[in-house]
Structure 1
Amino acid sequence: MVGGQVLQFTLLLLLFSVSESDIIPSQIQLNIKQAQSPAAALDLLPLLAPSPLMPFTNLTLPHLSGKCPLNFSNAESILATTAIDCWSSLAPYLANVVCCPQLDAAIKILIGQSSLSSETLAVGLPHANDCLSDIAQILQARGSNNDLLNICSIYPSELTQSSCPMVRVSDIENTLSNVPTILESCERIDPVKECRHKVCQMAITDAAVEIASTNYSMPDMVGAEPLSPVRVAMIDDCRKIVLRWLASRLDPADGNKVLRGISSCKINKVCPLVFPDLKIVTKECGDKISNETTCCDAMEKYIARLQVQSFVTNLQAFNCAYSLAANLRKANVSHNVYNICGVKLKDFSLQVGSQDSGCLFPSLPFDVTYDQSSGIGFKCDLNDDVPAPWPSSYAYSPAPSSNISASDLPALPKAASDQSGELNS
């Protein structure tokens, strides 16, 4: 299934070539190369490409404020990775699966590593804007999207103490009852096992509750049921502080893997797509389907509106399929239109390559790559055509999340299984 705008994005990828040598079993590596003639490319680039594709070799000097207390040299390699993950024209489409999780990790690592000299795990509000501006400038100079902070909804509060009562490293380490246990639980994680058993996440949450409980104006912080919104917000703010502290105790590369692994658990639990009004489908597919051709035409047009939004992981696609099925059933579409119309999981993601096939990203975190000769590349999980799941009854269980096992969903791509660690990059 493909619509006009989806084809435009496909043309963008084809314009900068897909190398046959990069195709491997169950995956396809897409490489976007610099156009031979930039002037000619300006006339050929489709509407979904807001700017010419610029090589990373043409780095510019960032204009820094000089007011940010963070030490950017401590996380130089992480910032380089972030710039590629949030690369110019592709950033809006990579936002939820690669770019924004990496940007969030980079900010936490920056603050954590800077605390080695500053002894504090937060930036004061007066300088938070300066630091965000500097981070954006550094990333833009390396080729990232110039509207990155808006794309990822990053605000100054993401760098501050917010409502957490403690930010000094020494205070935190004196407060936490079992620092070695936290480090042992989180210094190296298997993303699949972590999403299932939440060992590191529970250790972080316990530490956040412990720190938040030092706010003696809320003596019933621990064990209060139910927690008030203020208390929940404070624990969440302290959780961010704990993650920054963890980033200070780990090598930046190891910290990045841990933070990305933890974020993948959250990412894969939800569908990031926005579903338009269903009238186009319910009119042709509701009640008894009188004409399967017109019903499937309506489904194709509807799915095409989803395909222009974002790349999704295979588990996100599963959740998107379940969510759309739930909405269709509530709108009196009782027949399995996925089966009737041949809807696949990869139909819920952006379409790529000459085969017009949806690019499902692996559920495990990985980075976009850059090579000076072949350009920007990323892997698509296309190892099989997995049918989109249709609930067997109206009262079906919620969509599976990232803590499922491969045996629970045998039809899912292999990147969702315990054996997929090799796909990490």
Structure 2
Amino acid sequence: MRVQQGVSFSLILQLISLLFFLCLCTLNFSAAESFVSTTATDCWASFAPYLANVVCCPQFDATMVILMGQYSKYSGMLSLNTTNAQHCLSDFEKILETQGANRNLKKICSIHPANLTEASCPVVDANKFESIVDSSKILTACGKVDPVKECCQQVCQNAILDAARKIAMDGMVSMPENSTRIDDCKSIVFRWLASKLDPSSANGVLRALSNCKVNKVCPLVFPDMANVTKECGYTISNKTACCKAMESYVSHLQEQSFITNLQALNCAASLGMKLQKANVSQNVYDLCHINLKDFSLQVGLQESGCLLPSLPLDVNYDKTSGIGFICDLNDNIEAPWPSASFVPAGSCNETSKLPARPTAKPSQATAGFQVKELIVPLLLSSSLVLTALI
């Protein structure tokens, strides 16, 4: 490795420290090299907090599972001890950081060394695992996962849950359905599955399953809505005042994160139901022209909301244009006001108008914007470029 002139002494110390810590971790990071690089890009320094829920953390988790699966091939174990887990997680963070990832991924993604151990699951030996569960059933259900159908049919998810229950029951007579032990054993099942699939297939399956989970809920935090209920509650006497209050409220939501189109549906429903409980009976989404895109971070000079596709998505890096990803900007769908017949996006409503993937028309060009034009003042210090379809 050549150290260019101008590299700080502190950076050299960091590299030496990295080499030292790498000797204390038993994971082979080169076994999932391409996915380590993908994780670093998906969790790029400035973007990680705003892509955490949909892109960064799901890929971070998937890469760790793949690394653990590869480790089990030569160790025969599907977990690390606490000391080794601490070193390996620290190493992984340092490797990602040297490739441009955010330095606070443990906090952003709520990852702890315990996530690499067995936690409360009693079965971590790969041979014992295979003596308890129906291996062929898991591989048949999860060898290849349709990222759309799986979320509704849950073929792979049910097979993983069934296997997790079986190994969790090892040595026990009965167990509560919502036991944390079953959740801990699901992690073991994921690692075993990753050891049986090639890394690319394993990554696809893990990302698809994670998207089933994230698309069911709204990740946004709703601030106090007292001003909205004051101006829009009961019979609206001043439409302008009501809509100004709504626009101001929504602007706070737009500072939080990028979300998928299905998450936007859930966010619109969640906010609408909260407003209805606070005596806002009129459809203020229609009254104030609130669209689904208004619930996500805004991009471009025209400040159009960027909704991500509901299918797994990765960030791209290009030396010329910088960091980029595709936004679903083709449907200007009005936010649905909740009603008695409303069906949440997570319940597999096949009549949803939202496409799984955005499709650009021939006249639509790919354009690049400086981040300072996109998310002011959130990422003002960054000089990266975000590419979006508009």
Quick one: which of 174, 198, 201 aligns to 1:220? 174
Quick one: which of 350, 361, 369 aligns to 2:308? 361
Match of 1:299 in 2: 246
Quick one: which of 325, 342, 346 aligns to 1:401? 346
In structure 2, distance between residues paired with 1:118 and 1:242 = 16
- Decide whether the 8 Å contact of 1:368 with 1:378 is kept in 2: yes
- Decide whether the 8 Å contact of 1:363 with 1:416 is kept in 2: no
Deviation at 1:337, TM superposition (A): 0.2
Residues 1:211 and 2:167 aligned together: yes
Instruction: Spell out the pairing of 1:146-157 with structure 2 (5 A cutoff).
Output: 146-157=103-114
TM-score (structure 1 length as normaliser): 0.78
Match of 2:188 in 1: 241
In structure 1, distance between residues paired with 2:17 and 2:332 = 45
AA paired with 2:18?
H
The CA RMSD measured in Å over matched residues stands at 1.8
- Decide whether the 8 Å contact of 1:307 with 1:347 is kept in 2: yes
162-171 vs 318-327, which deviates more?
Answer: 162-171
**Structure number with higher relative contact order (C-alpha < 8 Å, ≥ 6 residues apart):** 1
Runs (4 or more) in structure 1 with deviation over 2 Å come to: 396-400, 411-417
Quick one: which of 177, 184, 187 aligns to 2:140? 184
AA paired with 1:68?
C
Change (3 A) 1:390 1:144: same
Change (3 A) 1:113 1:129: same
Instruction: Spell out the pairing of 1:7-406 with structure 2 (5 A cutoff).
Output: 63-64=18-19, 65=21, 66-176=23-133, 178-214=134-170, 216=171, 218-221=172-175, 227=176, 232-393=179-340, 397=342, 399-401=344-346, 403-405=348-350
Q: CA offsets per residue over residues 96-152 of structure 1, 9 Å max, x none? A: 010001101111111111111111110101221111110100100100001111001
In structure 1, distance between residues paired with 2:30 and 2:128 = 26
Deviation at 1:228, TM superposition (A): 6.2
In structure 1, distance between residues paired with 2:137 and 2:100 = 40
In structure 2, distance between residues paired with 1:360 and 1:238 = 34
AA paired with 1:179?
S
SS of alignment partner, residue 381 of structure 1: coil
In structure 2, distance between residues paired with 1:253 and 1:402 = 29
In structure 2, distance between residues paired with 1:62 and 1:362 = 40
- Decide whether the 8 Å contact of 1:281 with 1:302 is kept in 2: yes
Change (3 A) 1:62 1:91: farther
Change (3 A) 1:331 1:242: same
Identity of aligned residues (%): 56
Match of 1:42 in 2: none
Deviation at 1:374, TM superposition (A): 1.8
In structure 2, distance between residues paired with 1:389 and 1:397 = 9
Q: CA offsets per residue over residues 166-192 of structure 1, 9 Å max, x none? A: 11111111111x211211111111100
AA paired with 1:415?
R
Q: CA offsets per residue over residues 205-264 of structure 1, 9 Å max, x none? A: 1111111121x2x2124xxxxx265xx111111110000000111111110000000010
Q: CA offsets per residue over residues 253-307 of structure 1, 9 Å max, x none? A: 1100000000100000000000000112011101111111111000000000000
- Decide whether the 8 Å contact of 1:282 with 1:332 is kept in 2: yes
- Decide whether the 8 Å contact of 1:311 with 1:350 is kept in 2: yes
In structure 2, distance between residues paired with 1:152 and 1:391 = 31
